[in-house]
Amino acid sequence: MTFRKWAVRIVLLAGGLFSSLVLITFLIVQIQLIMSRWRAERLSADMHQIRLYQSTWADAQRLMHRWGAWGHYDGSCTAANCHYAIGMGTIRYQNPNAPRRAWVEWFSAHDRFNLYYWLGGRDAVFYASFTVHDGTIWRTGSGIAVDVPVKRMRRENDWPWSLSISAESRQRLHRTIEDPFSYMYSEDQLAQHPYYKVGAPSGCMILCEMEIVYYSTHTPPAEIERLTSYNFSCFTQFIACAHIDDLLPASKEWHLYDDPYQSSPTVPIPPPRPKSSYVMPIQPPCSKIPVWAHARDVRYTLAVEVLPTTADDEKFDPGMAKVRVVASLKEPAPWLPGAIVRTYPYRNGSIPPEEGQELVPEKPLIVFPVGNDEKHDILTKDSPIKLDRCGVLQDTPEIRRELEKGFALNDTLLP
């Protein structure tokens, strides 16, 4: 046999071995993605079975037993108090209960995950959590993140486009000191969906799309399931999910990334979105926001009487009103009954107050002060009362009944 024939055979054998190696590696990557998707779907289905304030410590223990290989907690975990988190993912996600994978760390350190992407792989992670308090589950949360890979063989400019969604229960859907993203959520959303709020961080504009959902602990279970029914096919489908509403179908109606004034991503550019009929939202009338939803979310609720102001008051402090505090209807406020407090209604530039939001002298009113929800604005008895939009209600028996409905939705666990 001539040298040329031997050379051809060697080349063919090497090519066959290489092709077999690539095929085997491709199958391993795909099997890993399929297994990750299967586990995530099972965990999501288990989370949808939880009923807040009803599911018991025994239900929580069954979940911890089933998902113990992927779960963890800090400190103690008892029926009295336990926060349990479960996380799982494809390749770069590191299970805290598993040994470190040296080959993954090497690939990450040397920026070689584009090879993994070329084989159809992608970074994807799903997590879920629940909090047990006094023997029942009081809080739940979940989240998903998927990379849209850029299949380039060079190191420079090969960052993946990232999609992520987080959904968590809250007893109040209002800004709090504990929530760094609280500025995103408008009270106006309550006119359309009083049980939840959504937002998109402004910093996530160049290499990612991210949405955060906060839902009330008393949201109907079917609505919670809708808000957390993630599209796990994004773990495995050959054509990668490219936009946030691919990851969560419910988010299509929110149009958070259809804002024409938002900056466009630069690197990488995902496939274009279909044209949207997005229209800049108009603020709904305050009367469209349920009173009980306001009452659930605010920290303080005061019954007040508006006092007349003098010419000097209007000259030296325009826009200010004086109120006498009659009673604190929710948690104790810094202003005691009988105190006379400077009060500043909500103002939007030169636009006059909406009908029903005026502070009319000698008229009994209910007001929602902005209070102790920001670190730089801690209230005392000497602080003025500042009102947000829709912070004024008439003090009537019907309004009081609606307030009590909202107050009943709060519990003692923060946030």
Predicted confidence at residue 268, as pLDDT, reads: 42
Does residue 414 form part of some domain?
Answer: no
Structural contact between residues 160 and 149, judged by C-beta atoms closer than 8 angstroms: yes
| Residue of 117, 129, 122, 114 lying closest to 233 (CA atoms) | 122
Same domain (yes/no): 36, 86 = yes
133 and 64, same structural domain? yes
- Claim to verify: residue 242 and residue 296 sit in the same structural domain: no
Domain boundary among 253, 278, 305: 253
Q: Are residues 237 and 382 in the same domain?
A: no
* Domains contained in the chain, number: 2
Give the residue from 204, 230, 253 where a domain finishes. 253
Domain assignment present for 276: no
212 and 353 in one domain?
no
Residue 226 pLDDT: 98
- Residue 265 neighbours by CB under 8 Å, 6+ apart: 161, 205, 206, 207
100 and 374 in contact (C-beta within 8 Å)? no
Strand stretches in 115-261, DSSP E:
124-133, 136-148, 161-170, 196-199, 208-216
Q: What's the pLDDT score for residue 348?
A: 76
Question: Would 52 be classed as within a structural domain?
Answer: yes
At residue 132, the pLDDT reads 98
Give this prediction's pTM.
0.85
Instruction: Please tell me the predicted confidence (pLDDT) of residue 3.
Output: 64
Q: At a CB cut-off of 8 Å and minimum separation 6, what does 96 contact?
A: 72, 87
Q: Say if 4 falls within a structural domain.
A: no
Q: Residue 322's domain spans which residues?
A: 286-407
213 and 129 within one domain: yes
The C-alpha angle 152, 156, 161, rounded to 5 degrees, equals 65
Residue 11 lies in a domain: no
Q: Which tens digits make up the pLDDT trace of 243-264?
A: 899 999 999 999 888 754 443 3
Looking at the structure, do residues 298 and 198 belong to the same domain, yes or no? Answer: no
**C-beta of residue 132 within 8 angstroms of C-beta of residue 82:** yes
pLDDT at 413: 93
Please indicate, yes or no, whether residues 117 and 220 belong to a single structural domain of this protein: yes
Residue 267 confidence (pLDDT): 34
Cα–Cα distance between 358 and 280 in angstroms, integer?
27
The pLDDT value recorded for residue 260 is: 43
Q: Does 350 reside within a domain?
A: yes
Residue-level pLDDT at 274: 55
**Identity (one letter) of the amino acid at 247?**
L
Residues with Cβ < 8 Å from 361, sequence gap 6 or more? Answer: 306, 307, 308, 309
Residue 281 inside a domain? The answer is: no
Residue 352 resides in a domain = yes
Residues 222 and 312 in one domain: no
**CATH code of the domain containing 308:** 2.40.50
Q: Kindly state whether residues 85 and 190 are assigned to the same domain.
A: yes
- Listed as ranges, residues in the chain with pLDDT below 70 are 1, 3-14, 18, 22, 25, 91-118, 150-160, 176-184, 203-206, 259-281, 349-350, 372-377
Verify that 319 and 176 share a domain, yes or no.
no
Quick one: 307 and 249 in the same domain? no
